Structure 1
Amino acid sequence: MCGIVGAVSQRNIVPILIEGLKRLEYRGYDSCGVAVHQAGELRRSRSTSRVAELDALVAAEGVEGYTGIAHTRWATHGAPAVHNAHPHFSHGPGAEAYASRPGRIALVHNGIIENHDELRQELIAKGYVFASQTDTEVIAHLIDQLYDGDLFDAVKRATLKLKGAYAIAVFCRDEPHRVVGAREGSPLVLGVGTAEGADENFLASDAMALAGVTDQIIYLEEGDVVDLQLGKYWIESAAGAEVPGRFARVERPVRTVLAHTGAAELGPYRHYMQKEIFEQPRAVGDTIADIESITPELFGDGAYAVFKDVEQVLILACGTSYYAGSTAKYWLESIAKIPTSVEIASEYRYRDSVPNPKTLVVTISQSGETADTIAALKHARSLGMAHTLTICNVATSAMVRECKLAYITRAGVEIGVASTKAFTTQLAALFLLTLALAQVRGHLTEEQEATHIKALRHLPVALQAVLALEPQVIAWAEEFARKENALFLGRGLHYPIALEGALKLKEISYIHAEAYPAGELKHGPLALVTAAMPVVTVAPNDALLEKLKSNMQEVRARGGELFVFADADTRIESEPGIHVIRMPEHYGPLSPILHVVPLQLLAYHTACARGTDVDKPRNLAKSVTVE
């Protein structure tokens, strides 16, 4: 969600800015833009099309420079329109100044400023003219109003007036070869230039944007303000300063980060989502690679003492990650015998809860930058729950830095907005967590441990067998593409898998889909069932199978059409009104990891048949870094 790239160099940095935006396209956006310092003035190009169109626009308009910033925007305040696209310029004070030429401040921003209305009214009273509906333009005007010849000082003073979350990159017409960045609640990194003789430095919202430019990365922390100039930089922070409202010089470690470059190649696949679905055997295999035995130290030093101390588990997550946590709840309570609650992160900190200091707080996030989940984690800590662990796909993310313990999944870069391989690798990691807690709590025998490890190691092969079902799923997708509504049913630990299947169909095909525990049909949703409403059923051969069959008969009795993903030994046969795709094998507790894959394929091929933008579905972003 939203991408920032900025640079100070002795070469034309527009190609670097554009390439950085291209690397961030997977996050989702609805407008983009670039601004540079050129011939003593601010120049910019903005577009509501793709970055490729912006690239052509800058070339046609002759935009180039040694200092600049660029942005991909996912609309929050104001519709997706050129006048709302970043970068924003300051204008004023006075309409005459706005009409004659742009002001002196150029700015891009990720996040949401909560007190933007209050600041807007103050700035209008001082003569500033607003050209957009965004909260971002408020920051540009505020910095302009505070500017007194030192951009770094003006930005620091401005941050003290802002409430909310932000990562910003700013430059000034009157100070060539200087870019200032600041962050609070949204990620921002500093890239230290390595090109010989270039004396350049970079800013970005993600190190991936700087792949191929520099691998020397500094992860800025909350409250940091950074000053970039040719061949030098420095960082000051309000956090921890002895005097409130003051800033102190800080040092942040430089890390060598090998950002993914070739991982984003499509290869023979039609879309990144399809590629990532088929990468799941490798991704899950890598996530559990080299695990010879179950030990708490898989989750970090000191994990044994933490696991020994905890009495319950609290899982905080959003979207697909929330469904991974909901699945893990079944494992944790049935195998590890530990009480577990799963909370939607965006709701958790806004209600009164009963904290227990002996709780293991587990966050789940693909990016590790999900704003709602980070905020929920901090809230849990403020309530006295200090035992924290994250399941995350990015080792250098804010979530990993915030938690004491971590398990890094090995999904690799996930470009498609609709998560696939991140989900299955999260499930694999959560199953390992279940086993580790079960061992510490005395609920895992050596024989059980060996059985589970064997099943985990077999997962890549089992997943390959499921992927071989794709031709049968394609046939179903052709029929689903003509529908506008669908129901998904599951029971037990496969109910969250039904939820995930419905979410995938909604996200990329725009078909309205809902999921229910199958036993809930007769308590309301059965009223929706007609021949026009396909009902997708997840049917593993488990203890609830016979109950599920009864629920399926309720659908058939109302003329509903069933599409069933059934284990081979369930004795569910195809007949008029019942379509069955047989899973290759029953997989016990790990069955959810297999059963979600055909649901991913169904959503993908349905979306292809409907002609939607699979990798960049409308209104959605990959990494949700605003609340």
Structure 2
Amino acid sequence: MCGIVGAVANRNVVPILIEGLKRLEYRGYDSAGVAVLNGGIRRVRRVGRVAEMEGAARTEGLNGLLGIGHTRWATHGGVTEPNAHPHVSHDEIAVVHNGIIENHDAQRERLEKLGYGFESQTDTEVIAHLVHYYFSQSGNLLQATRQAVRDLVGAYAIAVVSLKSPDLMTCARVGCPLLIGLGENENFVASDVSAVISATRRVMYLEEGDVAELTRSAVRVYDRDGAPVEREVHESDLSLASLELGPYGHFMQKEIYEQPQALSDTIEAVVTLGVDAALFGREAASVFRDVEGVQIIACGTSYYAGSVARYWLESIAKIPCTVDIASEYRYRDTVPNPRQLIVTISQSGETLDTMEALKRAKELGHPHQLAICNVRESAIPRASRLVFYTRAGAEIGVASTKAFTTQLAALFVLTLALAKAKGRLSDAAEAAHLDALRHLPGSVQHALNLEPQIKLWAERFAPKEHALFLGRGVHYPIALEGALKLKEISYIHAEAYPAGELKHGPLALVDANMPVVVIAPNDSLLEKVKSNMQEVRARGGELYVFADLDSHFSESAGVHVIRTPRHVGVLSPVVHAIPVQLLAYHTAVMRGTDVDKPRNLAKSVTVE
């Protein structure tokens, strides 16, 4: 959610800021703005897309050597230009902010008593005035920033500039991601490496509580106690090509088609070297031998990946597993078991609910934590004892696709590693599972070849306002994921249920206007699923069945069938994720929605 970019250089930074904001559009936003120092604080803000703000900046001839930019996803206050960032105090201090300030009401009341007026409804304007208040006392922007953030309760990443310190920018973070990009006689701040990748690949990630100051020639970082610290410099391997659309209609379509390669990259080590706990870290072997249960914590699509993994872990590794939504786990009373492995799943590695749930698990005394993540050096992996990085590459579309399937692959590798550590994986079983993994990218490619048939289904779905998804066993989470994808990008109301639950309530919804999507692989529950389908047909429901090539389904009146590749065993959920992604995508395209940037949603959720 929201995006920050800032630059201090010996060249006009406005093109850098605007390009950076365009790279951050995938995170979700509803307004954008930039502010630069040039004889005063010159600011341009617009509701809507970055392109609209860019046009206004060009019209006004905006330029400067120091500036900050922001894309806002509304939390406090509506989608209006006065609420857009950057926020300014007394024409001297400008601030951009990601996150939520929980005590902003108290701070606003305090500042109003000090004579400060407010032009917006946001919590961010409080920060601008606090920095101005402290700067007016000390004349030191770093000190003023440090004093201001000490007054804040909540989560924030901020960047600050002052008209009276025209060669200096400060920044700070608690709970929200922020990094510094290092250039030659120029430096940058951003919430995501994609915002600065065209200017530099050398980045340092700020730690919790860090406050930093940037000039053209130097970067100085201080910890929460004010002590100077060194943060490791990383060379980003993010490809600019991965941030370009290429021949595809949308980034979501591009990322759906990147899944065979993303899966190959993610499983490369295990299919080459075999099942080895060391894939998860140097301590993993001893940890895996010690654990007696798994607790998975995640949000949204990642939660559904964890829900699939529960079936694998209990059936293959014979290890009890529970799966919690991160925002629920954080606030419920749990019975801690120090021999339970805490597994967090996050594409960005910065999901605030998941990060806070991980902190809660540590507070409860869980010593074993494993992060499954797509972004190197992000907050959740850094806070975890063990890490497995998926290799999905940059995912721009808000609706997750390749991140989901690579998370599934990572969780399957985890299942095998735990089973082997516990002595529950025979050589023959290991060989069979590795062979299945090797063939997985090819099976996914075969599933992608179903796109023309799925587009025909999408024509039927596009006029609908409701849909029902059904699955059983390990494929029930795929039904959940299919419903989520459809509602996310097409705005069709969709629900998912275990097929056996139909008669316990959802069957009341079924009529000729409610398309019912069924995930029906050729597994041990196939005959049960067929019985559930008959319940739908008996009520006049229209069935859309994703079946395996060898499931022996035939089309009939009210029953439409698309056959995915031959059943691939326990990895079938990965393959069946592809057609539900394509169905949602093409339905959304036909409805004319903004596929990559659906309304009200953001890619990186860094607020609670």
Q: 1:582 offset after TM fit, Å?
A: 1.0
Counterpart residue type for residue 62 of structure 1: G
Distance 2:245 2:330 in 1: 39
Counterpart residue type for residue 143 of structure 1: V
Question: Is contact 2:87-2:125 (8 Å) kept?
Answer: yes
The DSSP-based 3-state class of the residue aligned with 1:270 is coil
The DSSP-based 3-state class of the residue aligned with 1:6 is strand
Is 2:14 the partner of 1:14?
Answer: yes
Question: Is contact 2:179-2:192 (8 Å) kept?
Answer: yes
Q: 2:317 aligns with which of 336, 345, 352?
A: 336
Aligned residue in 2 for 1:104: 92
Counterpart residue type for residue 358 of structure 1: R
Is 2:500 the partner of 1:519?
Answer: yes
Counterpart residue type for residue 462 of structure 1: S
Aligned residue in 1 for 2:148: 158
Is 2:166 the partner of 1:167?
Answer: no
Distance 1:80 1:200 in 2: 33
Question: Is contact 1:208-1:260 (8 Å) kept?
Answer: no
Is 2:223 the partner of 1:237?
Answer: yes
Distance 1:269 1:514 in 2: 29
Question: Is contact 1:389-1:406 (8 Å) kept?
Answer: yes
Alignment of 1:420-499 (within 5 A): 420-499=401-480
How high is the TM-score relative to the length of structure 2?
A: 0.98
Distance 2:183 2:523 in 1: 57
Is 2:201 the partner of 1:211?
Answer: no
Distance 1:144 1:279 in 2: 48
Counterpart residue type for residue 221 of structure 2: I
Q: 1:127 aligns with which of 105, 111, 115?
A: 115
Question: Is contact 2:238-2:393 (8 Å) kept?
Answer: no
Provide, for residues 294-326 of structure 1, a one-character-per-residue CA deviation record: whole Å limited to 9, x for no partner. 010111111000001101000010000000000
Q: 2:131 aligns with which of 143, 146, 161?
A: 143
Distance 2:331 2:538 in 1: 43
How high is the TM-score relative to the length of structure 1?
A: 0.95
Aligned residue in 2 for 1:297: 278
Aligned residue in 2 for 1:94: none
Counterpart residue type for residue 33 of structure 2: G
Provide, for residues 475-495 of structure 1, a one-character-per-residue CA deviation record: whole Å limited to 9, x for no partner. 100000010000000000000
Q: 1:146 offset after TM fit, Å?
A: 1.4
Provide, for residues 338-393 of structure 1, a one-character-per-residue CA deviation record: whole Å limited to 9, x for no partner. 01000000111111111100010001111111111011001101110010111111
Counterpart residue type for residue 613 of structure 1: D
Is 2:548 the partner of 1:562?
Answer: no
Q: 1:290 offset after TM fit, Å?
A: 3.7
Distance 2:519 2:241 in 1: 36
Aligned residue in 2 for 1:96: none
| Unmatched tracts of structure 2, length 5 or more | none
Aligned residue in 2 for 1:100: none
Is 2:177 the partner of 1:187?
Answer: yes
Distance 1:12 1:49 in 2: 24
Counterpart residue type for residue 183 of structure 1: R
Counterpart residue type for residue 144 of structure 2: A
Q: 1:260 offset after TM fit, Å?
A: 2.6
Aligned residue in 2 for 1:70: 69
Distance 2:233 2:208 in 1: 17
Counterpart residue type for residue 359 of structure 1: Q
Provide, for residues 106-150 of structure 1, a one-character-per-residue CA deviation record: whole Å limited to 9, x for no partner. 000000000001101111111111111111011101111111211
The DSSP-based 3-state class of the residue aligned with 1:83 is coil
Is 2:398 the partner of 1:399?
Answer: no
Distance 1:115 1:503 in 2: 33
Distance 1:397 1:167 in 2: 14
Aligned residue in 2 for 1:317: 298
Question: Is contact 1:211-1:258 (8 Å) kept?
Answer: no
Counterpart residue type for residue 24 of structure 1: L
Aligned residue in 1 for 2:43: 44
Q: 1:584 offset after TM fit, Å?
A: 1.7
Counterpart residue type for residue 268 of structure 2: A
Number of aligned residues: 604
Question: Is contact 2:512-2:540 (8 Å) kept?
Answer: yes
Provide, for residues 37-68 of structure 1, a one-character-per-residue CA deviation record: whole Å limited to 9, x for no partner. 111x1110001121122211111111111111
Q: 1:421 offset after TM fit, Å?
A: 0.5
Counterpart residue type for residue 117 of structure 2: V
Q: 1:217 offset after TM fit, Å?
A: 0.9
The DSSP-based 3-state class of the residue aligned with 1:234 is strand
Aligned residue in 1 for 2:396: 415
Q: 1:496 offset after TM fit, Å?
A: 0.3
Distance 1:180 1:258 in 2: 26
Counterpart residue type for residue 470 of structure 1: E
Q: 1:569 offset after TM fit, Å?
A: 2.2
* RMSD of aligned residue pairs (Cα, Å): 0.9
Distance 2:336 2:439 in 1: 39
Alignment of 1:277-292 (within 5 A): 277-291=256-270, 292=272
Distance 1:623 1:608 in 2: 23
Provide, for residues 180-235 of structure 1, a one-character-per-residue CA deviation record: whole Å limited to 9, x for no partner. 000000011111222xxxx2211111122111211221111011000112311211
The DSSP-based 3-state class of the residue aligned with 2:268 is coil
Aligned residue in 1 for 2:206: 220
Aligned residue in 1 for 2:512: 531
Is 2:187 the partner of 1:201?
Answer: yes
Aligned residue in 1 for 2:486: 505
Distance 1:384 1:250 in 2: 28
Distance 1:522 1:405 in 2: 43
Counterpart residue type for residue 12 of structure 1: N
Aligned residue in 2 for 1:97: none
The DSSP-based 3-state class of the residue aligned with 1:579 is strand
Counterpart residue type for residue 209 of structure 1: A
Question: Is contact 1:393-1:408 (8 Å) kept?
Answer: yes
Distance 2:564 2:66 in 1: 56
Counterpart residue type for residue 181 of structure 2: G
Distance 1:340 1:532 in 2: 38
Aligned residue in 2 for 1:113: 101
Q: 1:568 offset after TM fit, Å?
A: 2.0
| Unmatched tracts of structure 1, length 5 or more | 92-102, 242-246
Q: 1:164 offset after TM fit, Å?
A: 0.3
Question: Is contact 1:486-1:511 (8 Å) kept?
Answer: yes
